[in-house]
Amino acid sequence: YLEVSDGPEEKARLGILETLQCTIEHAWPRMPCRLPVLLQALLRLLWDVHTERGPSPEPVRAALLHRATQCLILLDRCCQGRVKVLLEGLQGSCEESRVRECLRKVQEST
């Protein structure tokens, strides 16, 4: 559901991110084994939202980026900092400022 845009308001993607955030918060002991799949999906979403030139207005794009970043931060907390370790090399090689800003927020979270 995160991979496909569902129109200008992106209700499905925003809803899925909210659901994912709640799932991470409540099922945190089960997240480490799902880290590779979730990390890949969230990073791809960050990239897709940044590069898509669809009809979504800027506030919707910003909300998607914010919620995906919050999910990455939660995922990092329940995986004992493994997300930060995996993102170290990626942040330096990313040239897109909005994606890099999201990655920076994850790296600086405590």
Number of domains in the chain: 1
| Residue 5, in any domain of the structure | no
Burial 70-106 (b: 16+ CB within 10 A, else e): bbbbbbbbbbeeebbeebeeebeebeeebbbebbeeb
| Residue 4, in any domain of the structure | no
In this prediction, residues 44-58 reach a mean pLDDT of 89
| Residue 89, in any domain of the structure | yes
| Residue 63, in any domain of the structure | yes
Mean pLDDT of the chain: 92
Q: How high is the pLDDT of residue 82?
A: 95
Q: How high is the pLDDT of residue 17?
A: 98
| pLDDT for residue 92 is more than 80 | no
| Residue 6, in any domain of the structure | no
Q: How high is the pLDDT of residue 55?
A: 84
| Residue 75, in any domain of the structure | yes
| Residue 54, in any domain of the structure | yes
| pLDDT for residue 103 is more than 80 | yes
| Residue 65, in any domain of the structure | yes
The residue range of the domain holding 75 is: 11-108
